[in-house]
Amino acid sequence: MRRRAFLASLGAGVAATTGGCVADGRVAREIAKEVRIEPLTAWWEELPSVGGNGALSLTVRADQQFDVYYFTDKSTFSQYRLYIYNRAQTDGATTNDTTAESTGNTTTTGGNTTAATSDSSMPAGHDDISQAAVPKGDSDKYEVQVPDDGGRRSIETEGAHYLAIDHSNYGAGVEVKRFQDPLSPFIDLKVIDEESII
């Protein structure tokens, strides 16, 4: 699986693609690591197909507030990615992405920033999974947990789907300033293919 991130570098941690099994399915993708996200950028991961019958478990925790977006198709994700790329170009943020390419649609550095940042071109992603981080109890951490009971959330995607941790001012999300500190979230994710029953 090809992975890209809109970062200059990643923090310490591990990520693994695994064929291991759990009750009622197979672990198709597992991530447990900390990443570094510069202001006005994002980290994202393309997730494997679960054949329309799967589940995910997600916890993201950081010292600053942030947004999580989950996109169930390439079309909506490509709009999000184009916004991130154009925002980085406009504001001078650091990004590894030099073309804002997406499958079947490549936009160079001369892309249309106005179109990329209009409300109609800023999909919010999955209604239940896409959300802003909230304070974690009495600690100084912010957290997104899906589902909120720590179990699994059913997903019915066909083909690739995408998880993004946002530090960019996208949409009506958390406000981020150009010279704000980088975000260093710890991401704990499992994607389960429930077609592979043990």
pLDDT-derived band of residue 11, with 50, 70 and 90 as boundaries?
very low
Q: What is the CATH number of the domain that holds 70?
A: 2.60.120.680
Q: How high is the pLDDT of residue 197?
A: 52
What Rg value do the Cα atoms of the chain yield, rounded?
16
Q: Is residue 2 part of a domain?
A: no
CA atoms within 13 A on the CB side of 91: 20
pLDDT of 48 over the 60 cut: yes
Q: Is residue 33 part of a domain?
A: yes
Q: Which whole-number Å values give the CA distances from 169 to 13, 54, 80, 100, 177, in the listed order?
A: 26, 30, 12, 18, 8
Higher pLDDT, 138 or 181: 181
pLDDT tens by residue, 148-167: 888 899 998 888 999 999 99
Q: Is residue 5 part of a domain?
A: no
CA atoms within 13 A on the CB side of 175: 1
Q: How high is the pLDDT of residue 21?
A: 52
pLDDT exceeding 90 applies to what percent of the chain?
A: 46
Q: How high is the pLDDT of residue 13?
A: 40
pTM recorded for the entire structure: 0.75
Q: What is the mean pLDDT of the chain?
A: 77
pLDDT-derived band of residue 23, with 50, 70 and 90 as boundaries?
low
Q: How high is the pLDDT of residue 195?
A: 64
Are 43 and 54 spatial neighbours (Cβ–Cβ below 8 Å)? no
Q: How high is the pLDDT of residue 188?
A: 97
CB atoms under 10 Å from CB of 176, counted, come to: 24
- Which of 8-12, 45-49, 62-66, 163-167 is the least confident region? 8-12
Are 80 and 134 spatial neighbours (Cβ–Cβ below 8 Å)? no
Q: CA–CA separation, 66 vs 175, rounded Å?
A: 9
Q: How high is the pLDDT of residue 144?
A: 96
Are 137 and 143 spatial neighbours (Cβ–Cβ below 8 Å)? no
Q: Is residue 7 part of a domain?
A: no
pLDDT of 87 over the 90 cut: no
Q: CA–CA separation, 156 vs 167, rounded Å?
A: 27
Q: Is residue 8 part of a domain?
A: no
Task: State which residues form the domain around 85.
Answer: 13-193
Count how many domains the chain has.
Answer: 1
Q: Is residue 140 part of a domain?
A: yes
Q: Is residue 85 part of a domain?
A: yes
Q: Is residue 6 part of a domain?
A: no
Q: How high is the pLDDT of residue 94?
A: 52
Q: Is 73 helix (H, G, I), strand (E, B) or coil?
A: coil
pLDDT of 97 over the 90 cut: no
| Residue 147: cis peptide before it, omega within 30 degrees of 0 | yes
